[in-house]
Amino acid sequence: MGLLVWWYHQEVLGAGRAAARTEVRRVYEYVMAAVGLLAASAGLVMVIVTLVEAIAAGRDLVVGGSALNALLAALVLLTVGLPVWWWHWRLAQHARADDPAAELASPTRRTYLLVLFGVSGVAAVVALITLVYLLLEDALAGGIDTETMRSIRFPLGILATTSLLSAYHWTVFRADRADLQPRAPARAPHTPAAPGHGPRMVLLVGTLSPAERADLAARTGAEVQLWRPRAAAPRPPSVEELAEAVAAVPEGDLLLLVDATGLRAVPVDHYTSG
């Protein structure tokens, strides 16, 4: 009955699969992936616990009721959890490949990765503390023996499993963040302008606002320096006129004079002492 209900509601959610991918669909897939991963993780922990217990007891896995029951429980959890996680995680990863911008910007995906990474990291730290405490306790009490191995089997299993989960989801989270960051176009390093490629520096003696100065620099690709005259010109030239005057002198530094007679462009050489 559970499988039937699950199949029916999956079909309801998948009815619009050909249309746009909705956030409800993402929530369903990531929740199912989390449930499957939780079951598979518990199964992996039980496998490690069973192995450590069998090694500590010095016997085969099939001998002894508790070890056999733990192994059977681990196999059941792995058999059920792994396919559920793999199927829904595969759907999410295919959606990421088909439409990376929408999938990576989804809060559901980011929440899934952060919660799993955070919970796994906290569990790994707690398990490591417990493991070290038990080892030190037995070491100070008289020595580490097979009973110590039995006492650390659960912390060891949790530590190994959560460390694996944390490492995997951290790599996925880092890859998502790297793909989300906008890639700036490659820019060539700034080099002085060669002859025939426009002025390297424009010295303007006139009146110009900061926005107009930035506009002139963007239009000409030159470094624009501004000196304000004591007496302003009757009609200051526009940025377009200044850009045309700069374009008329295709090489070298340039001095633009704006006075009562109008606009003059004077090619100059930038002098440096020494």
The pLDDT value recorded for residue 187 is 45
- Assess whether pLDDT exceeds 90 at residue 78: yes
Under DSSP, is residue 262 helix (H, G, I), strand (E, B) or coil?
A: strand
Q: 76 φ, ψ to 5°?
A: -65, -45
Q: Answer yes or no: is pLDDT of 60 > 70.
A: no
67 vs 211, higher pLDDT? 211
Structure tokens at 139: 């070491």
In angstroms and rounded to an integer, the radius of gyration of the C-alpha atoms of the chain is 35
**For 9-47, how does the pLDDT look when each residue is reduced to its tens digit (9 = 90+)?**
777 776 545 556 788 888 888 999 999 999 999 999 999
Q: Say how far apart CA 69 and CA 133 lie, in whole Å.
A: 28
> What number is the average pLDDT over the span 257-262?
74
Asked if 247 and 258 touch (Cβ cutoff 8 Å), the reply is no
Contact 125, 131 (CB under 8 A): no
Predicted local confidence at residue 189, as pLDDT: 44
Percent of the chain with pLDDT over 70: 82
pLDDT recorded at residue 236: 75
Band the pLDDT of 234: cuts 50, 70, 90: low
Predicted TM-score (pTM) of the model is 0.59
pLDDT category, 274, cuts 50, 70, 90? very low
List pLDDT tens digits, range 94-140. Answer: 888 888 888 888 889 989 998 888 888 899 999 999 999 988 988 88
- Note the pLDDT of residue 14: 64
First to last CA, the chain: 91
- Going by their DSSP bridges, the two strands 201-205 and 253-259 should be labelled as parallel
